């Protein structure tokens, strides 16, 4: 199965994971399992969820031993019930056991993110808003974790500091008081590539007014109460701009309040918890037998 992201970047991550876990060798497996023995084993989901990371688990075994056959039974993004076999590995028993924890670490983490994302997406399926991720990712795992968000039905916000302007309060402190936000947007339009979106953060209704005057592409309503989100959207809609900004809500979003936020009418809802607080999905490798 081809990887849907940069192969070299992911292979470096896999190499590091194998090196930290297997090191100079699996002393338990080497002591107990004959070198000639072959086995077959199933990756099985133990709880309901959305699978992601099969393409990475397959690469783990390719790295360890090309004689191991990895056969996917489902595709990334599949919604599954407990007990479903998602992939089968067969070949040298030692290599299968060497790769067990590394493959599971990728599968469980990424499937957990995909599963949590799908829960948010399901909550707001009747509204126009879309669920977006953030940059609150595990160092080195950003590409994979944002891939998992997509497998759960979510959308990717900027990948890094290099592909979108986002003017926040700490940036404005570098500018003189008064028209800092307007000046920030003007400077961004002058210096950034013309294709790049410009987003500004607004924490108060006064900042929403200032943001509207600056004419950014996106206004982020940051850590606002539901009441203030509704009032901010009223202010923005009443401005009747020829090109209305995209409205993003961020901060304090949970599964309990996301539907109420979506009902207010924003375009995007960004959720840091998708990647910084997702619980790993319970997946196990069950050896079916020796062959």
Q: Are residues 82 and 96 in the same domain?
A: yes
For residue 98, give the nearest of 107, 89, 87 by alpha carbon: 89
Confirm whether 189 is domain-assigned: yes
Full-model pTM: 0.94
Q: Which of 199, 201, 207, 248 is catalytic?
A: 201
Counting the structural domains of the chain, the total is: 2
- Token couple for 232: 């901010």
Q: Are residues 271 and 282 in the same domain?
A: no
Q: Are residues 39 and 128 in the same domain?
A: no
Q: Are residues 267 and 127 in the same domain?
A: yes
Q: For residue 139, what are the domain limits?
A: 123-276
Give the separation between CA 28 and CA 264, rounded to whole angstroms: 57
Instruction: Give yes or no: 125 in active site.
Output: no
Q: Are residues 61 and 176 in the same domain?
A: no
Run of H or E including 221: strand 218-222
Q: Are residues 133 and 258 in the same domain?
A: yes
Instruction: Give yes or no: 201 in active site.
Output: yes
Q: Are residues 106 and 154 in the same domain?
A: no
Q: Which of 63, 79, 101, 231 is catalytic?
A: 101
Q: Which of 100, 145, 207, 222 is catalytic?
A: 222
Q: Which of 168, 203, 215, 231 is catalytic?
A: 168
pLDDT per residue, tens digit, the chain (291 aa), is 455 667 778 899 999 999 999 998 999 999 999 999 999 999 999 999 999 999 999 999 999 999 999 999 999 999 999 999 999 999 999 999 999 999 999 999 999 999 999 999 999 999 999 999 999 999 999 999 999 999 999 999 999 999 999 999 888 888 766 668 888 898 999 998 889 999 999 999 999 999 999 999 999 999 999 999 999 999 999 988 888 999 999 999 999 999 999 999 999 999 999 999 999 999 999 998 887
Q: Are residues 137 and 272 in the same domain?
A: yes
Q: Are residues 127 and 114 in the same domain?
A: no
Instruction: Give yes or no: 84 in active site.
Output: no
Q: Which residue has the tokens 């960004």?
A: 270
Please check whether residue 101 is in contact with residue 21, taking contact to mean a CB–CB distance below 8 angstroms.
yes
Q: Are residues 33 and 129 in the same domain?
A: no
Instruction: Give yes or no: 222 in active site.
Output: yes
Using the Cα atoms of residue 180, residue 182, residue 187 and residue 192 in order, give the sign of their dihedral. Answer: positive
CATH number of the domain encompassing residue 203 = 3.20.20.70
Q: Are residues 171 and 82 in the same domain?
A: no
Confirm whether 188 is domain-assigned: yes
Q: Are residues 161 and 243 in the same domain?
A: yes
Q: Which of 135, 136, 215, 231 is catalytic?
A: 136
């Amino acid at each position: 199965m081809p990887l849907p992201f940069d192969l070299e970047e992911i292979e470096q991550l896999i190499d590091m994971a194998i090196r930290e876990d297997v090191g100079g060798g699996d002393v338990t497996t080497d002591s107990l399992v004959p070198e000639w023995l072959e086995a077959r084993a199933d990756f099985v989901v133990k709880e309901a969820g959305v699978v992601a990371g099969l393409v990475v688990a397959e690469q783990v075994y390719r790295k360890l031993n090309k004689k191991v056959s990895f056969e996917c039974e489902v595709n990334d993004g599949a919604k599954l019930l407990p007990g479903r076999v998602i992939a089968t590995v067969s070949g040298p028993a030692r290599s299968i056991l060497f790769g067990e924890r590394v493959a599971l670490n990728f599968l469980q983490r990424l499937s957990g993110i995909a599963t949590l994302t799908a829960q948010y997406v399901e909550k707001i399926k009747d509204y126009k808003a879309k669920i977006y991720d953030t940059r609150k990712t595990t160092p080195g795992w950003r590409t994979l974790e944002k891939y998992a968000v997509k497998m759960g039905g979510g959308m990717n916000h900027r990948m890094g500091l290099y592909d979108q302007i986002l003017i926040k309060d700490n940036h404005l402190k570098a500018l003189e008081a008064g028209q800092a936000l307007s000046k920030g947007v003007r400077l961004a339009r002058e210096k950034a590539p013309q294709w790049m979106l410009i987003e500004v953060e607004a924490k108060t209704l006064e900042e929403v007014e200032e943001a509207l005057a600056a004419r950014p592409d996106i206004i982020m309503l940051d850590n606002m109460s539901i009441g203030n989100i509704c009032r901010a959207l009223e202010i923005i809609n009443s401005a009747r701009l020829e090109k209305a900004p995209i409205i993003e809500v961020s901060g304090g979003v949970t599964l309990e309040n996301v539907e109420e936020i979506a009902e207010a009418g924003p375009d995007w809802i960004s959720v840091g918890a998708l990647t910084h607080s997702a619980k790993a999905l319970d997946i196990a490798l069950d050896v079916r037998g020796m062959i």
